[in-house]
Structure 1
Amino acid sequence: MLNQAQRDRIHVVLVAPRNPLNIGAVARAMANFGFSHLSVVSAHDPNWREARSAVGAPELLQSAISTESLAESIGPDTLILGTGSLQFRKPDQPILQLPQLGPLIQQELDRNGRIAILFGSEKRGLSRDELSYCHALVEIPTDPHQPSMNLGQAAAVCLYELACGAIRSDTIQKAAPPQVVDSAILDRLANLIEETMLVARYSPKSMHETNRHDLRVLLRRLNLSPLDSRRIFGLFRRILNRLKK
């Protein structure tokens, strides 16, 4: 299983959860497998920290980070994974089967990355806009007659696969891992490119929201290095300055 230092770089994010008992169930599942970093984005019930379902994990609920913005919650993370079924969505991101989760997490840990695993609202799952922040979607296979899972159950299944599926690498000597670009940098780059597109009148106003979504997806798909991101920043800053002049 993952060691403590590795688990500390894995972050569970609940987006717009509705039921405090489900938040408590997720906290309990996290404690079962040794994870302790939880963020709750735009919770419907402000008293979710008091959930009695967090058996054995009340401290985890108390220390959880609460934000109103998903972008703020995942800013330091370098690999963002959404979860859900494919019954009602056609994601733009690569689709991973649950057994692929462990090896992918291990690969990101090996290059000193930080991982966020996103779980959507019990009512609708992750929206298209929320998925645009993700590098991939992890599919939880279920029977078509009962495709939805309780939020706590879904988290437990994913965390078990993650904890047991990753290959321990702390005893294997490896080359220096490549540097990674976190989500906050990608968002700043997307904002710069979007501003350049607006000044250049790239598309009509009706397309602005679609362009914003597509930019988020594209930049995460490119898997940029820090040097790549700096070069693109410089290029678009120069283009934007010339256009403004």
Structure 2
Amino acid sequence: MRAPAIILVNPQMGENIGAAARVMGNFGLADLRLVAPRDGWPNPQAEAMAVGSPVLESARVFETVAEATADLSRVYATTARPRGMEKRVLTGRAAIAEARGALAAGEGTGILFGAERQGLENDAVAGADAILTLPVDPAFKSLNLAQAVAVVAYEWASGDPVPDAFTEMAPPAPRIEIDRLFEHFESELDRAGFFHPPDKTPLMINNLRSALIRARFTEQEARTFRGAIKALAIGRGKARIVRED
């Protein structure tokens, strides 16, 4: 098993089942298990909310939690309420990190989510290896079922690399291009009378260069910036001609 099973115990609203299936598909979780959904199965509201998520098509339905977890060797129970049990309590992030290790070792792993109205029954929590809880505000602990699945699904996916579409960026410009940008920028600033008083000029130049270096311009960005400097210089020259006329 490459990812933990998401097990919804006695879910009441088809919309929440569909939303959970949708976000599972978004974050690479494929194994959705339903334990005695209140309104039966299949559910039109779930289908509408899943927006075509393939996870919903492969969802399996069980009569009991025992049946849904029969092939698993590690189970986490999600709850925001203390249950008076001697159980390890983990954050979502810690539980997912532990689950990754278990899955890598070949252990079937699942995460239980309770019904919308009251969460998991004590029996389900008692049968779990550990409690998974989220840092919700104690004054308002009620979290939507699908949203709870979304948070855990995100924790699962956050250990993966950033998609290529966001990492394929142009490299920073070679220093010769940055030096040309400095020379061009400082030359125009000098012509405009920016460096005053003269004894502060070296410090002002160093400050400007430090700021521009932090930007880590690509070669194209450096050229665009120089184009902007040129346009401003030309515009200043036109304004001078208008005033002289």
Match of 2:71 in 1: 76
Match of 1:85 in 2: 80
Match of 1:139 in 2: 133
Contact kept in structure 2, 1:23 and 1:48, CA below 8 Å:
no
Structure 2 SS opposite 1:130: helix
1:14-33: CA deviation from partner (whole Å, max 9, x where unpaired): 00111110111110110010
Greater relative contact order, per chain length (Cα 8 Å cut-off, separation 6+): 1
The CA distance in 1 between the partners of 2:160 and 2:28, in whole Å, is 14
Structure 2 SS opposite 1:53: helix
Contact kept in structure 2, 1:20 and 1:47, CA below 8 Å:
no
Match of 2:12 in 1: 18
The alpha carbon displacement at 1:140 in A equals: 1.1
Aligned length: 159
Match of 1:55 in 2: 51
1:84-106: CA deviation from partner (whole Å, max 9, x where unpaired): 202x5333321112221232012
TM (norm. structure 2) is: 0.61
Structure 1 stretches of 4+ moved >2 Å = 47-50, 88-92
Residue segments in structure 2 that go unaligned for 5+ positions in a row: 162-245
> What does 1:165-176 correspond to in 2, within 5 Å?
165=159
The CA distance in 2 between the partners of 1:24 and 1:82, in whole Å, is 21
Match of 1:190 in 2: none
Contact kept in structure 1, 2:9 and 2:114, CA below 8 Å:
yes
Match of 1:104 in 2: 98
Question: Comparing 153-162 with 137-146, which one deviates more in the overlay?
Answer: 137-146
The CA distance in 2 between the partners of 1:166 and 1:104, in whole Å, is 15
Contact kept in structure 2, 1:14 and 1:118, CA below 8 Å:
yes
1:123-153: CA deviation from partner (whole Å, max 9, x where unpaired): 1111111112200000111112321110010
Match of 2:114 in 1: 120
Residue segments in structure 1 that go unaligned for 5+ positions in a row: 168-245
- AA of the residue aligned to 1:53: M
TM (norm. structure 1) is: 0.61
Indicate yes or no: 2:39 matched with 1:45.
yes
Contact kept in structure 1, 2:89 and 2:133, CA below 8 Å:
yes
The alpha carbon displacement at 1:166 in A equals: 7.5
The alpha carbon displacement at 1:157 in A equals: 0.2
Q: CA RMSD in A?
A: 1.8
- AA of the residue aligned to 1:45: D
Contact kept in structure 2, 1:77 and 1:113, CA below 8 Å:
yes
The alpha carbon displacement at 1:34 in A equals: 1.1
The CA distance in 2 between the partners of 1:49 and 1:62, in whole Å, is 11
Structure 2 SS opposite 1:6: coil
Match of 1:164 in 2: 158
